[in-house]
Every structure is written in structure tokens, then in C-alpha cells.
Structure 1
Amino acid sequence: MEGANCKRCGRPLKLAHSVEVGYGPTCRKKHDEAEAEFLKRQITIEEYAEFAEKAVGR
């Protein structure tokens, strides 16, 4: 467990669970929020194809 650092801020991790996930509690929350926002903005290939068809006027 010793020597493990947070993947986000680089601070030493103290709790076994934090070492397992690679983030301290605060950074884990921020990471999860950023990941959720990223995923919310993603589109599927089907959505892209539909947009592309409309863009070329098919």
C-alpha cells in the first residue's frame, strides 16, 4: 500500500480502498463527475450517420 499516489493530484493515498481505485475520495468524485460529463456528450455511430445524412441532404 505504501508508495501509492492519486492518479489525479499525485498525493499519497492512505486508505486501502483509495489505493485500489487509484484516487482519493475528493479526486474520485471529481473524476467521476468529469467522466459522466464526457459520456453525456458522446454520440453513437448511428446518431453520427443520421447527422451526416442530413448534412449532405440525402
Structure 2
Amino acid sequence: MARPRYAIVEAPSVLGLFPKGVERLPEALLGAGLADRLGARRAGRVEPPAYDPRRDPATGL
């Protein structure tokens, strides 16, 4: 059997904004069959840091 041409790496992120559900998008897309439809393999997940509303004192961001 040939190795899948594509690999999916889950990288959920709220881009620094308040979490409202978009961080669960990878699970929703994969649960809906995205990997199967693309013929892709799941290659892991990058866990983002937990949401923190405080500004970084060094950068002010």
C-alpha cells in the first residue's frame, strides 16, 4: 500500500484572542472526515500554550 501523499499536523490556535471554540476546529474537521477525503495521514498535534490575558512585560504584547 502506498504511503499517503499528504500529512495533517493539527495546530489549534486562537491567535492570542479569547478562546471561543475555534481552538477545537482541528478535531471538528478531522471528525468530519477531512483526512480520509484527502487521503492524508495524521502526523501529530502541536499544543499551543494556554490562553493568558496578561501582557508580556518584556514586549508589552
Pick the structure with greater CA Rg: 1
**TM-score category of the 2 structures, normalised to the smaller one:** under 0.3
Larger RCO (CA under 8 A, 6+ residues apart): 2
TM-score (norm 1): 0.25
Greater percentage in helix = 1
Greater percentage in strand = 2
